[in-house]
Every structure is written in structure tokens, then in C-alpha cells.
Amino acid sequence: MKFAILAPGKIAHMMAKTVTQLEEVECYAVASRSYDRAEVFAKQWNFEKAYGSYEELAEDPEVELVYIASPHSHHYEHAKLCLEHGKHVLLEKAFTVNAAQAEELIALAKEKKLLLAEAIWTRYMPGRKLLDDLLADGVIGNVTSLTANLGYVLTNVERMIKPELAGGALLDVGVYPINFALMTFHSEVAEIDTTAVMSDKGVDLMNSVTLTFADGKMAVLHSSMQSLTDREGVIFGDQGYIEVQNINNCEEIRIYDLDRNLVRRVNVPEQITGYEYEVLSCIKAIREGKSECPEMPHEETLRVMRLLDEIRSKWA
């Protein structure tokens, strides 16, 4: 499948490293607002074509699947451009700036009979299924609550600190603890308690979010762009607890009993970068004529976006 990358920033290099090792992918085109930048990227990763505008990429009839890696603030605009030109789209997280934009893009993709998928890689990784299977098997009994955190020092990154680029911890790193909770607990969120420390420019530097679910379960979440955290997720049950080492890219799952004894370690499969799973899922869905990937269906993308909207509304 002829694969293209829109916006060759840091994360796009990781995607290029991935797809160059996939037999299912033909590394076809890359577009930047600067032709020189696109050309350098294309030469580095052996992409066939380089474009100096996003419109040129969208107008290329050979392009099949576009990976969009621009800042959150531009996801809606760039995804709409590609969909209107008949391209399947893999759109980086956070999917859009708000739920209204997400709803419009999803409706457009369905109208055009095109795939539109969110590149939230943790949804597609085999480690997630391993965790789900362990919980289904009742290894820690009845699950009642969880905690999860993710934090990096990102205050020197332009897109993180500027409100006009939809900056802040929540949209960039907070989506991972939230997705971790929603992948574990499937009932409706009944209550949200949240607080944030805001920058002088009006973006959240760090935040805490407590989700109480309709079935009585609870998730306590934290994300930060000011400090490094241990990235750990812990799921608690009445027969023990499970530690997930690195909720952003699961490295190991550890199971403890009621005496806090480590009783089992579960390793995850080796990977190229971890991005391969979302790309392969997209290709499979496209070949099957689907507009969404089963690992991250549109309704789950909307569920996340609506939560993000409500959380931020409580900070106002």
C-alpha cells in the first residue's frame, strides 16, 4: 500500500523507521510546508516523492494511506484535506482539538467510504490484549480501581506551550492515562473530578483527573509536561493487583497477590517501534472496506474527545 507522511517532524521519523521495515508498505511520499525539509526526509528514509505543500500530497492520485503528524491544532484541517481528496487517514493523537471536529471528520470519512483511524498506539499493541486476557481470567479477582500517570519534561517544546497549537499536558500525554482507564473500564463515566496547574499562556502544565464510573469503579490519573514520572499503571482487585510498566509502551506486566508477593511476570512481544501495529491494522481495515479499526473504533475516539472537552471545561 502506498503510504505517505504529512508533516515530517520528530514523531514522523519514528513512523518512517517503522514502515520502512514493513513488507505491506510502499514508502511513497512525504509532504512539508518546506520542500527542502520534505526532500531531506524522503532521502533519509527512501520515500519516492517529496512535496513542498500538503495540497500537492493530497492531490497525488497514487497516495493511498496518509499518516498525519502535524500539531493537534491542525489535525482537523489536514485530515479533512486528505479525506476530501479520497485518501485513507491515520491521524495522530490527540485526534482533534475537540469532539465537534472529531464528529465532523468521522462523518466525512463514512460519507466518502474511507478509513479514518486514530494513531493512539497503545490501543493496537499486543500487550494490551495480554492485559485484557489476564483481567478476563480473573487473576486479581474483581477489579475495582486503577491509577495511571505519564509525564515528561516538555516545557521547551513549542507545540506544547502555545495555546494556538493546542498545547498542554492533557492533549499530548494525558490521553494515555485516559485511554488506559477506558480500555480497562467500559461502563459510562458518571463523574469527573479534575484540577490543573496552568501556565501564564493558559495551557495546562500538569493535571489530575479522577473518573468515577457508573458501575462504581474509579480511575485516578495524572499527566505532566513539567516532570518525568514513572509511567506506571496499576490495576487493583480483591485478589491482588497488576503493575503495567510504562503505559505509553508496555514493557512488562507484573502480577501481585494479596500478600504483595510478585507471583508472575508477563513479557510483551518484541517490536520494531510499536507503531507497526496501528499501520497493519489500518491496511487490514482498508482491504476489508472498513472506515474504522476495531482496536480504536470511532465511538471510542469520540468517547475520549468528549471526556477531554469536559475535563477542560472544568478548568475554566
Q: How far is the C-alpha of 218 from the C-alpha of 37, rounded, in Å?
A: 46
DSSP line for the chain? -EEEEES-SHHHHHHHHHHTT-TT-EEEEEE-SSHHHHHHHHHHHT-SEEESSHHHHHH-TT--EEEE-S-GGGHHHHHHHHHHTT-EEEEESS--SSHHHHHHHHHHHHHHT--EEEE-GGGTSHHHHHHHHHHHTTTTSSEEEEEEEEE---TT-HHHH-GGGT-SHIIIIIHHHHHHHHHH--SPEEEEEEEEEEPTTS-EEEEEEEEEETTS-EEEEEEESSS-----EEEEETTEEEEEE-TTS--EEEEE-TT--EEEEEEPPP-SSSTHHHHHHHHHHHHTT-SSBTTB-HHHHHHHHHHHHHHHHTT-
Q: How far is the C-alpha of 275 from the C-alpha of 293, rounded, in Å?
A: 14
What's the chain's length in residues?
A: 316
Q: Residue 257 is placed in which grid cell?
A: 497477590
Query: Catalytic one among 49, 87, 93, 217?
Result: 93
Tell me the Ramachandran region of residue 238: left when phi exceeds 0, alpha when psi lies from -120 to 50, beta otherwise: alpha
Q: Is 17 a catalytic residue?
A: no
Which residues are tagged catalytic? 93
